[in-house]
């Protein structure tokens, strides 16, 4: 590292540390003064200031330190630098403008990127979400907000959800990711079921909607190790939308369709810990229907959706128990 840079760096680190340590909330005062719209942790703020300071000319930095950190009178700073008070005042004003520019532009974007990377994980993490199949375990997750990737699995029920969607890009936390995913699923699959076709999520080609068992789905549309065992065991067909052109695939079971309905999402908000009961085939309104039902683990409450067995259109929604 060149000596000059090292000196600059240590001086600026001194500035930031004394700035943030001598006066509590000093860094935030600085940010307030500049009216910056930042949502940063103190550590990030210190790093941001530190880097912004290294980019300023040395004289500007000296003036800022002497005035804003050491609280030296203008006349004293002017005497030390061998210049006039008005020259120091002008340098101070320009210095603050320059610092503000640095803080509001490139460095802030870089920090936003750091924050995204900090919420990226390639190892399974514990999430606050409960498995809605068994209601006994919290889901483990992997995520990459930059790519819109979200994987969720229950340690007992096998892999639960694999998603790679533009709609998830930039969302960091597991709860907001799930909320976004559920809303997206409802829009996408309900559009698909209503129209019988829907655009591919990746290449935009119009694709037909299929109802099929897991073994009927083309092999290229599954990442084998991610096929949950319960998909194989389910007695109901999945909704499957597969693109032969770009090999993108969206497959979902009936109970996910139920839980991502607006009523299902609201039930999960009230009762985050539910389990899925076995589906039942009945006759309703003269047609074959499938009943999917969920019950709260912690309260006496159930959520039931009746689907048409052929079209998977919703025939009825029932919510029982305390609200
Ligand atoms: Zn589970
Ligand atoms: Zn496609």
CA of 255 to the centre of ligand 1 (A): 14
- Alpha-carbon span 40 to 37, nearest angstrom: 9
pLDDT at residue 184, as a whole number: 96
pLDDT at residue 26, as a whole number: 43
Q: Are 27 and 19 in contact (CB under 8 A)?
A: yes
CA of 138 to the centre of ligand 1 (A): 8
Q: Which ligand is nearest to the CA of 207?
A: 2
In the block, residue with structure tokens 């950190």: 69
- Alpha-carbon span 149 to 17, nearest angstrom: 37
Backbone angles phi, psi at 171, to 5 degrees: -90, 130
CA of 202 to the centre of ligand 2 (A): 5
pLDDT at residue 213, as a whole number: 86
CA of 133 to the centre of ligand 1 (A): 5
pLDDT at residue 315, as a whole number: 93
CA of 282 to the centre of ligand 1 (A): 26
Q: Which ligand is nearest to the CA of 229?
A: 1
CA of 155 to the centre of ligand 1 (A): 7
- Alpha-carbon span 136 to 155, nearest angstrom: 10
- Alpha-carbon span 124 to 158, nearest angstrom: 13
pLDDT at residue 58, as a whole number: 83
CA of 119 to the centre of ligand 1 (A): 24
CA of 201 to the centre of ligand 2 (A): 7
CA of 134 to the centre of ligand 1 (A): 4
pLDDT at residue 77, as a whole number: 87
Mean pLDDT by 10 residues, the chain (323 residues): 44 44 43 50 66 79 78 87 89 82 70 68 88 93 89 82 88 91 96 96 94 84 61 78 91 92 96 94 89 95 96 94 67
CA of 87 to the centre of ligand 2 (A): 64
End-to-end CA distance of the chain: 64
pLDDT at residue 1, as a whole number: 38
- Structural domains in the chain, CATH included, are 3-117 (1.20.140), 173-321 (no CATH)
CA of 131 to the centre of ligand 1 (A): 5
CA of 130 to the centre of ligand 1 (A): 8
Q: What is the per-residue DSSP string for 6-37? A: HHHHHHHHHHHHHHHHHSTTHHHHHHHHHT--
């Amino acid at each position: 590292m060149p000596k000059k840079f090292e000196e600059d760096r240590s001086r600026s680190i001194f500035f930031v540390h004394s700035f943030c340590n001598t006066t509590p909330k000093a860094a935030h005062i600085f940010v307030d003064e500049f009216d910056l719209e930042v949502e940063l942790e103190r550590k990030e703020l210190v790093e941001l200031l530190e880097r912004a300071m290294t980019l300023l000319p040395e004289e500007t930095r000296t003036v800022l330190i002497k005035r804003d950190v050491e609280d030296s009178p203008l006349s004293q700073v002017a005497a030390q630098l061998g210049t006039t008070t008005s020259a120091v005042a002008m340098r101070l004003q320009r210095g603050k403008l320059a610092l503000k520019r640095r803080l509001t532009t490139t460095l802030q974007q870089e920090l936003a990127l750091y924050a995204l990377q900090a919420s990226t994980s390639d190892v399974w993490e514990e999430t606050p979400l409960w498995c809605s199949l068994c209601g006994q375990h919290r889901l483990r997750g992997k995520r990459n907000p930059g790519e819109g990737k979200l994987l969720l699995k229950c340690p007992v029920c096998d892999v639960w959800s694999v998603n790679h969607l533009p709609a998830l890009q930039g969302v960091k936390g597991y709860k907001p990711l799930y909320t976004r995913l559920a809303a997206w699923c409802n829009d996408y699959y309900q559009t698909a079921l209503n129209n019988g076709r829907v655009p591919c999520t990746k290449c935009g080609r119009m694709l037909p909607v299929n109802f099929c068992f897991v073994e009927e789905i083309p092999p290229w549309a599954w990442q084998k190790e991610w096929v949950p065992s319960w998909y194989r065991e389910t007695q109901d067909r999945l909704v499957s939308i597969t693109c032969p052109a770009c090999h993108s695939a969206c497959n979902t079971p009936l109970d996910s369709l139920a839980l991502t309905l607006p009523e299902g999402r609201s039930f999960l908000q009230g009762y985050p810990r539910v389990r899925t009961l076995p589906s039942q085939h009945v006759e309703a309104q003269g047609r074959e229907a499938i009943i999917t039902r969920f019950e709260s683990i912690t309260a006496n409450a159930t959520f039931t959706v009746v689907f048409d067995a052929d079209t998977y259109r919703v025939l009825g929604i029932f919510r029982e128990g305390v609200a």
